[in-house]
Amino acid sequence: MIPKHLQGVLWSRKIENLSLKRDQRYIIHQILVYGSFADWSWMFKVYGAQQVKEIFLKQPLKIYPPAVFNFVKKILFGLPVNVAPSHRYDQTAIRHTG
């Protein structure tokens, strides 16, 4: 069950309509970007550090401000420079529309 206090972090969907399994990509990325340390603690307890990292790496979302992306990539996960290229995550990156 997803705690009600996460509604502000998971703002684009109603908590009662979310599934921990089906919506894990959305939940994890939203919490990584917008969540507090308490929200992160809940996320790691529910999904585990390995699953969170795997979702971050294998199912990126372009919602990360550059500073948040760098914090998550370098500090939280300790990933090397050549892993998780910023254009796959950075909401400010130039998108090609052609």
67 within domain boundaries = yes
Total domain count for the chain?
1
97 within domain boundaries = no
96 within domain boundaries = no
> CA nearest 63: which of 97, 44, 35, 21?
35
79 within domain boundaries = yes
pLDDT score at 33: 97
Token pair for residue 66?
A: 């550059």
18 within domain boundaries = yes
> CA nearest 72: which of 57, 82, 87?
57
77 within domain boundaries = yes
Instruction: Provide the domain limits for residue 18.
Output: 4-88
- Angle between helix axes 49-58 and 24-34 (nearest 10 degrees) is 100
Residue for token pair 């390995």? 50
64 within domain boundaries = yes
Residue pLDDT tens, the chain, 98 long: 899 999 999 999 999 999 999 999 999 999 999 999 999 999 999 999 999 999 999 999 999 999 999 999 999 999 998 888 888 998 876 655 55
Identify the three-state secondary structure at position 17: helix
